[in-house]
Structure 1
């Protein structure tokens, strides 16, 4: 029975692959036909739907100069010295203090 299921799965995979190739070729055919007519009627030009900048009263602005800031050479650690409550870390810190005292 498992061989039958395997043959059925392989057949389905081959059928889907065949359909994808056929549909891709049909899609390319339509794309080429519509692309030809688009080029023929001039729809492929980039400025076809745009008007001139003067007619829309668009003014071009000059690019603003970039602001330069001085890079800090030394690293300043954060001022916040608070640490979160960690029982394991407290245990090891306490052990280290005891060793240092003795």
Structure 2
């Protein structure tokens, strides 16, 4: 029984580390990074989860000392209402693209 428990635990750790690695590889500029349920739009909950992932990544870097670029990315993405242009509590791909274009022009 203990052997099976250890195997299960090792497998769980492997899956969690693979999931974390995938999340870290995702780019916050990618719509799919935010649209985690692949519904075609981004809810506030998904947005907040993406912000939490960015924050976690920043804390993991250099003993919690995020570099200037990481802090700037976090600050740009943290305001959901700035991206939800039509105030319908959903960010669709067009709104996200306009937001991305605005970032590139800054």
* Shared fold per TM-score greater than 0.5: no
| TM-score (normalised: structure 2) | 0.31
Greater gyration radius: 1
Q: RCO greater where, 1 or 2, for CA within 8 Å and sep 6 or more?
A: 2
